[in-house]
Amino acid sequence: MTRQKQAVSSLLDRTEEFTSAQELHARLRQAGEHVGLTTVYAQLRMLAEAGEIDSVRSENGEALYRRCTTGTHHHHLVCRSCGKTVEFDAHDIEAWARRLAGGHGFIETAHVMEISGICEDCA
């Protein structure tokens, strides 16, 4: 268990949202941890192969990773103008998504859901 491995794993523990390799790397840098980008990729691949993290693809093709959990997580409502963000949980929607996926024979489902708009301050 190296320092770098520790750092990546620990950061994933503290992160609920699906996050890109690039951003994880940037955050480690910002936190003063010196971990190479290549190493972040290597770690993410190992963790993904070991089934410890989930990965999905974002709209623009980036790979996003998140520690596997069966627990709840939350989503964001983001203002396209000023970036203001409201967190919300979507318990009902998640159950609905799992049910819909299951109805088509899919397992290990993950979902991405983001809502954007213009907040009242920017309107």
Partner DNA sequence: TTATCTGCAAACATTTTGCAGCGAG
Partner DNA sequence: CTCGCTGCAAAATGTTTGCAGATAA
- Is 103 among the residues that bind DNA (CB under 7 A)? no
- Residue 62, CA atoms < 13 Å, CB-side half-sphere: 12
The contact mask relative to a copy of itself for 68-87 (x = CB under 8 A, - = no) is ---------x-xx-----x-
Q: Which run of H or of E encompasses 87?
A: strand 85-89
Binding segment (CB under 7 A) for DNA, from list 58-66, 74-82, 95-103, 113-121 = 58-66
Return d(Cα 42, Cα 8) in angstroms, integer. Answer: 10
* Complete edge-to-edge strand list for the sheet that includes strand 19-20: 19-20, 63-67, 53-57
- Is 33 among the residues that bind a copy of itself (CB under 8 A)? no
User: What are the backbone dihedrals phi and psi of residue 15, each rounded to the nearest 5 degrees, phi first?
Assistant: -115, 125
Chain residues in the site for a copy of itself (CB under 8 A): 56-59, 61-63, 77, 79-80, 86, 88, 92-93, 96-97, 100-101, 104-120, 123
Chain residues in the site for DNA (CB under 7 A): 1-5, 20-22, 34-39, 41-43, 45-46, 60-63
